[in-house]
Amino acid sequence: MANIHASDEIARLEDQIERLAATIENCRKVIFICKGAIISGVLLAASLALGVVNPGPLAILCAISLLLFGIVGFGSNWSTLKQSSAALNQVEQMRQQLISNMELRLVVNEEAGEPR
């Protein structure tokens, strides 16, 4: 009877692991995009400073916007990534603990005489 409850709890934890893994993957993608925005903003600002690009208001606004978007997005998703990774480790440990506490029995294939 306890194994039934443990199995349900393990299934719930595995669903939570999948959600956390998806969150972590999304954070990594957004962080990658934010790094690109930061690099683009720096390159645009450098080209404005060197006179490669006409320093009009739109170009300056774009450089500032790219930098701000990249920095804010990176910081936000980095903290979410760290929190989700810590939660994922904790949930995986809980799942492993439940599995190790279950009374599992070995099933033997009688035809081959080997465990399956």
- pLDDT tens, position by position, 34-92: 999 999 999 999 999 999 988 899 999 999 999 999 999 999 999 999 999 999 999 99
What's the mean pLDDT in 88-116? 81
On the CB side of 108, CA atoms within 13 Å amount to 5
**Quick one: pLDDT at residue 3?**
59
What's the confidence (pLDDT) of residue 25?
A: 97
Q: Are 22 and 88 within 8 A, CB to CB?
A: no
Q: What pLDDT score was predicted for residue 105?
A: 76
Residue 1: the pLDDT is 47
Query: CB within 8 A of 33, min separation 6: which ones?
Result: 73
Count of positions (residues) in the chain: 116
pLDDT of residue 109: 75
